[in-house]
Structure 1
């Protein structure tokens, strides 16, 4: 449970400080967080001081807390200078205290060491050690048994579902469904009157079916083959859809930048034709300029309710929540 409202971390627009009470494992159920870390703040001038008794024991205790939320046999650092003799000494001491093996590349339990973001008692920000809870990021869903190139991050998909609102009477249509991430996250958030995923790729639909099955939603959604950028969509799925979700190609792993304007414009028109009056359409795209231009051209079809900038593997795509006019 939260103990007060989350607060932004200075200088880190992708992070929030959250105080909680109750077992640390409770935070592992967060759907829209990429990872959760225990934050230890040390009023010390340099990382070398972390190897001393009291400081080291705090880090060890936090590592054991993480181990209680998910088993790990190895650990690693994410820190500038992690290959230095100081971190080698810290790794040896932590391995001896916990019995975990230090694996600088693939370690499961992650410790981030960084300059502090807030002044300590001495006025100096000191150093922070962040110990990740669990052996995997929260975005690594257990239902993902089949990967697919360009699949949307599950945390972002969960945020899209939340922004689009979860209503059990909704008929839900996932355009360009890929490996089914948006479908799984929507059905995991609550029941729907009907759910359908559409894609042109047979491999994508196979991946969707396998991931839906692993998430225990195999019987909750239908998968269809159709082009989501033209009249073939309505021919395949009909009309009257209340919530539409899409993650169109970014022009890297799928599609091309040269054709993405046509893809986005066709998607907006096809979605409008399939949508019910008052429907919501939630779109994730990295082609921001293309999307903005297409939305201006389609202002008679969709009205922008909100835009949200997110982070995805070095990219900064946006989530658009649209209302059918």
Structure 2
């Protein structure tokens, strides 16, 4: 990228500032999944950011809205690089007008919830230098500086691309991308939406998939799978009627209610399996923190593995999210004649380290279609 064009900050013919470098922030562990989504959705490659295990960098010249349509990242930032020795130098020349131009464009992106404020994420953000930078950005954008809860986030750091330079990163969304507009109902222990989107990608979605989601809770896994691509059928099961109601509300908000069917069923009992055979089963049993009990989770995990195998034919996929790693490993050894482990993806999420197990049904269980 030409730094002189970047400093001018004038919009190009499409109305976009000429800033084409971006960083994608993701939950550690999901690098391969996020990279795959970017390649599939945008047709471009990504590279890791030096000394970071949660960020990828890319060059993109299309509409910024397409970056916000990615479902597995936590956030996307526009990256502006300045050949200046310290943040104070940003106050001179045309450096700050370039930042203001990018902030203005980000504000125009957030039409559903218009941004009214901004904040800094930087060491020394309370210093007099950053106070002066905040004053000039506020004057140039008419946004309010809110150091604690500003809508638009600006990060300042030493440049990772040029020597003796500084990067300014501006988040394209006022809220993390894991916040979904369709989530009108939340329940304790609901799956993180970006992890659910990663599970959908790991399942290798196909248009002919018949999908089952036992213990469907608020419907996160069903929504993210159907947003990833069409399916021939999608059934959600839960013993708790209030959970089914939450799923129904979220599916309606996502415009997917007509593509799903919700049924009340005990997920550890054989009743729900009679609706198969399914091609893909998604499972996210309680982790024993906000929901469920650690003492009974091993039995629950094993029963889910057995029931899911009854509901599918050989070669079907089971995508299983759990924080109970040791219990899950013991269950998989017990059920090794039912499921083969294809991959295990470890995710780091706010102090939790859940794993996504991608399993394939073996040929040792009942092979005939389940009526």
TM-score past 0.5 threshold = yes
Partner of 1:10: 50
Partner of 1:163: 202
**Separation in structure 2 between the aligned mates of residue 189 and residue 310 of structure 1, nearest angstrom:** 20
Partner of 1:172: 211
Instruction: Select which of 298, 301, 314 maps to 1:261.
Output: 298
Q: Is the 1:3–1:19 contact (alpha carbons within 8 Å) kept by the matching residues of 2? A: no
Cα distance change of structure 1 residues 290 and 113 upon mapping to structure 2, 3 Å threshold: farther
Instruction: Select which of 54, 57, 71 maps to 1:31.
Output: 71
Q: State the 1:242 CA deviation.
A: 0.8
Specify every segment of 5 or more residues in structure 1 that has no aligned partner in the other structure, as ranges: none
SS at match of 1:13: coil
Q: State the 1:132 CA deviation.
A: 0.9
Q: Is it true that 1:114 corresponds to 2:157 in the alignment?
A: yes
**Separation in structure 2 between the aligned mates of residue 115 and residue 263 of structure 1, nearest angstrom:** 49
Q: Is the 2:121–2:154 contact (alpha carbons within 8 Å) kept by the matching residues of 1? A: yes
Instruction: Select which of 196, 203, 207 maps to 2:235.
Output: 196
**Separation in structure 2 between the aligned mates of residue 193 and residue 256 of structure 1, nearest angstrom:** 35
Q: Provide the aligned length of Structure 1 versus Structure 2.
A: 319
1-10 vs 237-246, which moves further: 1-10
Q: Is it true that 1:185 corresponds to 2:224 in the alignment?
A: yes
Instruction: Select which of 268, 292, 301 maps to 2:329.
Output: 292
TM-score of the aligned structures, taking structure 1 as reference length: 0.91
Partner of 2:169: 130
**Separation in structure 1 between the aligned mates of residue 122 and residue 238 of structure 2, nearest angstrom:** 41
Q: Is it true that 1:74 corresponds to 2:117 in the alignment?
A: yes
Q: State the 1:133 CA deviation.
A: 0.9
Q: Deviations over 1:234-277 (max 9, x none)?
A: 3xx53311100011112111112222222211211111111222
Partner of 1:275: 312
Superposition CA RMSD, Å: 2.0
Q: State the 1:6 CA deviation.
A: 0.1
Cα distance change of structure 1 residues 6 and 168 upon mapping to structure 2, 3 Å threshold: same
**Separation in structure 2 between the aligned mates of residue 130 and residue 222 of structure 1, nearest angstrom:** 43
91-100 vs 251-260, which moves further: 251-260
Q: Is the 1:73–1:100 contact (alpha carbons within 8 Å) kept by the matching residues of 2? A: yes
Q: State the 1:319 CA deviation.
A: 1.3
Instruction: Select which of 335, 347, 367 maps to 1:310.
Output: 347
TM-score of the aligned structures, taking structure 2 as reference length: 0.80
